Amino acid sequence: MITEEALPTYQTMLNTLDGVRDETGASLTSWAIWTRAWTAEENRHGDLLNKYLYLSGRVDMKQIEKTIQYLIGSGMVCDYMYCLFLIPFVFTISLFHRYLSSYMSGKTLLCW
């Protein structure tokens, strides 16, 4: 949940790479459109998880909020060659996350 809250930061960093360059945040390139849609979808997951944890009382939400504030407020420095290396990894993790979410919710149809 905490990393999903910082996803817009990660998206912004990926969108500064050569070949993407979504400088306005409204680029019509396929990659820019996909990353914005992905970020919006993951934001919904984070919101739902946040509400569930809050209502269930299973975690200290004050500490979660402090951690999220610190993570986003600290910013991020990314070595571009390292980021390029991570793109396939991030995509694979996203697909695995989608699979687990579908499996855990009892869905039988997986639409990746």
Burial status of residue 42 (CB atoms within 10 A of its CB: 0-12, 13-18, 19 or more): buried
- Encode pLDDT of 66-88 as tens digits: 988 888 888 777 665 556 666 66
Q: In angstroms, rounded to a whole number, what is the distance separating the alpha carbons of residues 60 and 82?
A: 34
> What mean pLDDT, rounded, does the chain reach?
76
Q: Which domain holds residue 43?
A: 2-78
Question: Is residue 32 included in any domain, yes or no?
Answer: yes
- Encode pLDDT of 18-34 as tens digits: 666 777 878 887 888 88
Question: Is residue 50 included in any domain, yes or no?
Answer: yes
Question: Is residue 63 included in any domain, yes or no?
Answer: yes
Q: Which residue has the higher pLDDT, 56 or 10?
A: 56
pTM here is 0.58
Question: Is residue 108 included in any domain, yes or no?
Answer: no
Q: In angstroms, rounded to a whole number, what is the distance separating the alpha carbons of residues 80 and 13?
A: 9
Question: Is residue 102 included in any domain, yes or no?
Answer: no
In the chain, how many domains are there?
1
Question: Is residue 21 included in any domain, yes or no?
Answer: yes
Q: What is the dihedral of CA 69, 71, 75, 80, to 10 degrees?
A: -150
DSSP summary character for residue 29 = S
- pLDDT reading at 90 higher than 80: no
